[in-house]
Amino acid sequence: MTTELLESIAQLRGRIADARRAGRSVGLVPTMGALHAGHARLMEQARAECQLAVVSIFVNPLQFDRQDDLDRYPRTLEADLDVCARLAVDVVFAPAAAEMYPQPPTCGIEVGRVAEHLCGRFRPGHFRGVATVVMKLFQIVQPDRAYFGEKDAQQLAVIRHLVRDLNVPVRIEAVPTVREADGLALSSRNQRLNAEERELALVLYQSLCEARRQMASGVRDAANVTGAARARIPLDDRLRLEYLEVVDPEDMQPVERIDGPVLVAGALWVGSTRLIDNLLCSPPAGRGDACVAPTEEGRDEETVTGARSADRGTPDHERRRRPSGRP
């Protein structure tokens, strides 16, 4: 099949109307492009569950708090179209900024306490921009289902609150984080890392694993958990920990005592690149080493799935958990 590239709202609405008349269900995967295996997993699920799979590719200026970050964000439309075609996506919607915002917007979606902490604290206006563009996409596409990755946990929470509070008739599907074999969460921003920074970036995931180990061993005080996790970040001029917190996974509010499921989330600057990651944890987690070091083969048995870094946009379906050798 051929993937259609549409660049205007009118074209897309016409294509959606045709699908609706034919009784087809519609799934939406909102992205900013620079597609990788994490995006591919979203598309695969949309393709499996919906009769018309739509992927939006739009670098949304409203959600960037720094102009240099917007300017540096990778734009790889031709490669992205190849990924979408390979995954049998029906429609790619790739509008220009002038199509989405023909005039500077005077209305937007204000988000509340769910955006007060974590990224919201350090990126003023970010989640207002996210919520606004997602609401616009929901209005344009009117999908039955929309797919978001769990790596962007606070974004996912914001969208869930948006849909609930404004009675948007769409089902939000959360898709697990896709990781490299050594545990690094896939991100379009990983492309900015040089080889040394790529190795340093692993400490964010390792610190989150330390937090999970602390909980699994019986530690319930959130300050003690985060203290042990932060201690895993080495002193290095190229690293700056922005935050590492234990929060409620529903409203993203910090917790003091861990008595149920929590989200451990962190943001780390590696050189000039800002990376985020998170792990959902529940006490007791069972064994104390719930996140283990990579095996000699370079695989981490607790990662959600593996992805070959050289095969951008294609999940490694052949990967399976390997026995650890522990009794």
CA end-to-end distance (rounded Å), the chain: 49
The last residue of a domain, from among 126, 152, 175: 175
Q: Is the pTM of this model over 0.85?
A: yes
Domain of residue 51: give its range. Answer: 4-175
The last residue of a domain, from among 141, 175, 209: 175
Which tokens sit at 33? Answer: 């492009």
Mark whether 142 and 23 lie in a shared domain: yes
Strand partners, 171: 145
List, in sequence order, the alpha helices (H) in the chain: 9-21, 37-49, 67-72, 77-86, 97-100, 119-122, 126-141, 153-165, 195-200, 202-216, 222-230
pLDDT the model gives residue 182:
97
pLDDT the model gives residue 240:
98
pLDDT in tens, the chain (327 residues): 699 999 999 999 999 999 999 999 999 999 999 999 999 999 999 999 999 999 999 999 999 989 999 999 999 999 999 999 999 999 999 999 999 999 999 999 999 999 999 999 999 999 999 999 999 999 999 999 999 999 999 999 999 999 999 999 999 999 999 999 999 999 999 999 999 999 999 999 999 999 999 999 999 999 999 999 999 999 999 999 999 999 999 999 999 999 999 999 999 999 999 999 999 999 884 444 444 433 333 333 334 343 333 333 333 333 333 333 333
Mark whether 143 and 32 lie in a shared domain: yes
Q: Is the residue at 55 inside a domain?
A: yes
Mark whether 45 and 168 lie in a shared domain: yes
Number of domains in the chain: 2
Residue tagged active-site, from 39, 117, 126, 161: 39
Mark whether 194 and 128 lie in a shared domain: no
Query: Are 270 and 185 within 8 A, CB to CB?
Result: no
Mark whether 192 and 160 lie in a shared domain: no
Q: CATH number, domain at 201? A: 3.30.1300.10
Is residue 39 flagged as an active site residue?
A: yes
